[in-house]
A and B are shown apart, each in its own frame.
Chain A
Amino acid sequence: MRAGALVLALAACGPAVIAPSATQPLPPHRELAVDTTPKQRPRMMPAEVYLRAYMMWFGGLAPLEVQARARGRQLFDAWDDYLAALGLPDYRIDLPRQTQSNTLMLAAFGRLGEALCVRAVEHDLHDARTPPDQRVVFAFEPIARPSEAQFDERFDVLHRGFLGYPAALAPADRAKRYYALFTQVAAHHPAKPKTPLTGEETAWAAVCAALIQHPETGLY
């Protein structure tokens, strides 16, 4: 009897039959537009734009004036040696525009960058010969043995000039890595160098050259 009563009691406690309800969409939490447009990696800046930027960074000089200023100590020879390497088309011979980089092009960018930066240091910083408001690349007041914060402030000027945005928006370690470059180059150049630049001037030239060769400078 006791067993039968237990079975009845368990049956009485079983789940009630619940009829399924119609499905309802979940209420929207927030709406996001799905961007289905094709994307690609940043593309190369047209060679003409690079050249115009280069002239601008050189202080708005004409190509032949840039060439005249950049020459010397084997930094630069003649534009004709670089134009094809930069990817310019030559319509006369149906040579198309280069839309992909190559090693020769990167080497040309490197050489042009070094020429620009060394000459810009000589023009802007060396012997404080150019008033601050007329400095074209290093538009800041240099300071001996800058702290990291002091470096960052000046690095931001270069970063904006070449990459087009504040260094504060760059990956977190970028300024730190460039500061390391600055201190290393400055430390490895003697106090009385044979070259016309001081150790720290050379360090600024190195930072400039590294920045102008940064992939983001030539891409957009």
Chain B
Amino acid sequence: MRWWLLIVVLLVAPDSRAGRRLPEYRYFRALSIDLTGRPPTRAELAELEQPGFDLDAWIATHLGGAGYAERVRRVYMDLLRLEVGPSFAFVPNPLELRRHEILGPAGPENVYFRRGQRRVDPATDGDFCLTADETGQQFPTNAAPIGTAKPVSQATLDARTVLVKPWWLYADYRAALPSDRVAPDWSKRFPGFAPVPGLLVEPDGKTPTTQVRVCREEAQTTETGAVYASGRAGVKKGEPPPAGRLTQPPGDAGFARTNKGRAVSCLSGTGFQSSVECGCGVGLERCVPGAGFVNEPPAFVLPTHTPLGGDAPFESTPQPAAAWERLWWSEEAKHFLDKILLDDRDFRELLTSRATVVNGPLAQFYRFFAGATCCGASADLGYADPTPLVEPAAIPEALVPEDTATWLAVGDRGPYAAGILTMPIFLTKYGSRRARAHVVYSAFLCRDFVADAVRLAPSSEPDLTKRPGCATCHQTLEPMAAYFTRVMESDWTYLPADKLPMAHPACSKAKGQPGACKTIYDPAFPTTLRGAYASQGNAEAGPAGLAAAIAGSPELAPCVAETIAGSLLGRPLAPEDAAWKAELAKTFVAGGYRMRALVKAIVTSARYRDGNDARRQ
């Protein structure tokens, strides 16, 4: 009888492989694609076929993984497109160390310099630190040297230049005797950090570079410099440059004339432009190198595409230092978003948080580079030392510039920080105040501006909230754009209220107004900063005010639910989905605006499981 019982048991026991139906396999494959970022492996299919397989537990496990975070991040990256291309050329003169090849006593060698570097000697002020008499050559901007090189004496080199062990060659460049020089193991310690070969070898193409020769002024390390005014008379139009120069030496700006001798930060563009004491700092850490003299010389070998993340790069090519900066600005936003998703934090922090995450290149940017674009014409109105959007003191000092792999949390960037809204990638991707407001309106409220069907008539009305034909959209857009009044367009320079009040007395003068009264302030609305006319309250609230407004909007949760559900279903939500969308939004809010609960509600719903006909067979 026992054989008979065995047959009965075999007939009654579920055949797991045969038991799984095609829709179940397809549902599992969809889950795998959306939550792990790849189709299931054969081993995972075998697990699925096990009798005790717990799909809910599998979903819960993978909702905390990197694949899930990447999937959701991709939804918002597709909306925000937070990468900038070469059209945004970030090559401020204070940062860019270019080089000329000269003939030294022992043969060709490179000398690094900054365009526009202030020097006391009028023969070299604002230019290369060696003259035509000394080198036998003239060095035009962005063009090959003119003339025949002659050996530069050692005495001249010693007088005009110094040797430095720079940050791109030494990880311990701040040590008294740096010794941790770039080596093959750096590719593992600092993945992705690869200076172009030209930065690592001498002009002979084979001798490893162990130190670089830099113009003496560029090698200075002081934090502040005294404002320098040459006292030179202004150059008349058509007047030829002084003998031996191809260009006129820089004149004295109004700021320099009125503030001569005053201390100015060497981390600011104003310091670079108006002091002969400001250099690139210890180990040249305030500057980025370029292997050439052109506008954007090659600096780093970078991947052209990283669709699978920075740790799985595709082809790499030599690119300028600006590409290096752009890459890490973008990575900051991605890592910040990943942290919110992986830690399952309140999704509204994407807009409101004062925290961020940084690695070595970003730490270098925030500590040494960010001030370089400040303060331009604002200096004439008294704004010469930048008020940072991100406090340099908040950035961990332990990160060396080449440390691409270590990402550290920054708890509080400062009082003006607001999620991605104050990150360089956002502020440069969306250069204008209106573009910034528009993308936030669209991505986080799921609304857009649709022009009214009116005939446009000529109008001299400067207020777009009133101008016929414009008002339909701009009544909403202008007050939102006003939140970005105090962040310069295509830049991250903050315009502080104590230096640049909403109405500046200097700009109310009938004559002799500084130039900033037309660039920082709006001549069409004389009492306001540019962009603030529609709402001075919003202008003072800043990006954090916009973040708070969006985070408090009842439209945010339905919009996030619609965006995520639409992406996971692979179709825009239809009117028939309205009740479900409302339910999802409720789940999202009840879960503390945490994404994991929302995604779980979507992927376990019948709409997702039976999302297409193939899964219903």
The proximity string for A residues 40-53 relative to B, scoring 1 for CB distances below 8 Å and 0 otherwise, is 11110111110111
Interface size of A by CB at 8 A reads: 49
A82, chain B: closest CB distance, angstroms: 10
A79, chain B: closest CB distance, angstroms: 4
B33 at the interface (CB under 8 A from A): yes
A71 at the interface (CB under 8 A from B): no
Contact check, B574 vs A89: say whether CB atoms are below 8 A apart. Answer: no
Contact check, A64 vs B313: say whether CB atoms are below 8 A apart. Answer: yes
Provide a sorted-by-A list of 15 A–B residue pairs whose CB atoms are within 8 angstroms: A35-B610, A36-B576, A39-B611, A39-B613, A42-B614, A43-B612, A46-B74, A47-B307, A49-B39, A56-B41, A83-B305, A83-B314, A164-B25, A164-B28, A165-B22
B263 at the interface (CB under 8 A from A): no
In the bound complex, residues from chain A placing their C-beta under 8 Å from that of B576 are 36-38
* 8 further contact pairs, Cβ within 8 A, besides A51-B308, A96-B78: A46-B33, A67-B315, A89-B81, A90-B305, A160-B42, A160-B45, A164-B26, A169-B25
B436, chain A: closest CB distance, angstroms: 15
On whether A91 and B45 interact (CB within 8 A), knowing A55-B312, A79-B314, the answer reads no
A173 at the interface (CB under 8 A from B): no
Contact check, B308 vs A52: say whether CB atoms are below 8 A apart. Answer: yes
In the bound complex, residues from chain A placing their C-beta under 8 Å from that of B606 are 35, 37
In the bound complex, residues from chain B placing their C-beta under 8 Å from that of A56 are 38, 41
In the bound complex, residues from chain B placing their C-beta under 8 Å from that of A43 are 570-571, 612
Contact check, B577 vs A38: say whether CB atoms are below 8 A apart. Answer: yes
A171, chain B: closest CB distance, angstroms: 10
A108 at the interface (CB under 8 A from B): no
**B300-336 residues at the A interface, CB under 8 angstroms:** 304-305, 307-308, 312-315, 330
B458 at the interface (CB under 8 A from A): no
On whether A164 and B29 interact (CB within 8 A), knowing A56-B38, A91-B77, the answer reads yes
Closest chain B residue, CB of each to CB of A166: B17
Q: Whole-angstrom distance between the alpha carbons of A26 and B537 in the complex?
A: 68
Contact check, B84 vs A92: say whether CB atoms are below 8 A apart. Answer: yes
On whether A49 and B315 interact (CB within 8 A), knowing A37-B576, A88-B305, A169-B22, the answer reads no
In the bound complex, residues from chain B placing their C-beta under 8 Å from that of A31 are none
Contact check, B38 vs A80: say whether CB atoms are below 8 A apart. Answer: no
Name B37's contact: one of A48, A64, A83, A97 (CB within 8 Å).
A48
A113 at the interface (CB under 8 A from B): no
B466 at the interface (CB under 8 A from A): no
Closest chain B residue, CB of each to CB of A41: B612
B40 at the interface (CB under 8 A from A): yes
Contact check, A48 vs B307: say whether CB atoms are below 8 A apart. Answer: yes
B85 at the interface (CB under 8 A from A): yes
Contact check, B81 vs A91: say whether CB atoms are below 8 A apart. Answer: yes
Q: Which residues of B contact A (CB under 8 A)?
A: 17, 21-22, 25-26, 28-30, 32-33, 37-42, 45, 70, 74, 77-78, 81-86, 304-305, 307-308, 312-315, 330, 570-571, 574, 576-577, 580, 606-607, 610-616
In the bound complex, residues from chain B placing their C-beta under 8 Å from that of A216 are 614
Contact check, B307 vs A51: say whether CB atoms are below 8 A apart. Answer: yes
The proximity string for A residues 109-150 relative to B, scoring 1 for CB distances below 8 Å and 0 otherwise, is 000000000000000000000000000000100000000000
In the bound complex, residues from chain A placing their C-beta under 8 Å from that of B70 are 48
Closest chain A residue, CB of each to CB of B311: A62
Name B25's contact: one of A49, A91, A93, A165 (CB within 8 Å).
A165
In the bound complex, residues from chain B placing their C-beta under 8 Å from that of A83 are 305, 307, 314
B606, chain A: closest CB distance, angstroms: 7
A78 at the interface (CB under 8 A from B): yes
In the bound complex, residues from chain A placing their C-beta under 8 Å from that of B82 are 91
Counting from the closest, the 4 A-B pairs by CB-CB distance are A92-B85, A165-B25, A43-B570, A91-B83
B301, chain A: closest CB distance, angstroms: 12
Closest chain B residue, CB of each to CB of A52: B38
A81, chain B: closest CB distance, angstroms: 10
In the bound complex, residues from chain A placing their C-beta under 8 Å from that of B612 are 39-43
Contact check, A220 vs B42: say whether CB atoms are below 8 A apart. Answer: no
A157 at the interface (CB under 8 A from B): yes
Q: Whole-angstrom distance between the alpha carbons of A216 and B32 in the complex?
A: 15
Closest chain B residue, CB of each to CB of A46: B74
Q: Whole-angstrom distance between the alpha carbons of A8 and B74 in the complex?
A: 91
B113, chain A: closest CB distance, angstroms: 30
The proximity string for A residues 82-112 relative to B, scoring 1 for CB distances below 8 Å and 0 otherwise, is 0100001111111011010000000000000
B245, chain A: closest CB distance, angstroms: 39
Of the listed residues A48, A49, A93, A96, the one surrounded by the most CB atoms of chain B closer than 10 A to its CB is A49
